[in-house]
Chain A
Amino acid sequence: EPEVTQTPSHQVTQMGQEVILRCVPISNHLYFYWYRQILGQKVEFLVSFYNNEISEKSEIFDDQFSVERPDGSNFTLKIRSTKLEDSAMYFCASSEFQVSNTEAFFGQGTRLTVV
Chain B
Amino acid sequence: AQSVTQLGSHVSVSEGALVLLRCNYSSSVPPYLFWYVQYPNQGLQLLLKYTSAATLVKGINGFEAEFKKSETSFHLTKPSAHMSDAAEYFCAVTPSGGYNKLIFGAGTRLAVHP
Contacts and interface: CB of A to CB of B under 8 A. Distances in A.
Interface string B84-114: 0000001010100001111111110000000
A73 to B, nearest CB: 18
A99 B104 contact: no
Given A42-B106, A43-B107, A106 B43 contact: yes
Interface in A73-115: 91, 93, 98-101, 103-109
Nearest to B52: A100
Contact of B43 (A4, A44, A103): A4
Contacts, number: 58
Contacts of A100: 32, 51, 94, 100
27 contacts: A4-B43, A6-B43, A33-B101, A35-B102, A35-B104, A41-B106, A42-B107, A43-B44, A43-B107, A48-B100, A50-B100, A56-B99, A56-B100, A56-B101, A91-B43, A93-B44, A99-B32, A99-B101, A100-B32, A103-B49, A104-B102, A105-B46, A106-B36, A106-B44, A108-B42, A108-B43, A109-B43
Interface of B: 32, 36, 41-46, 49, 51, 90, 92, 94, 99-107
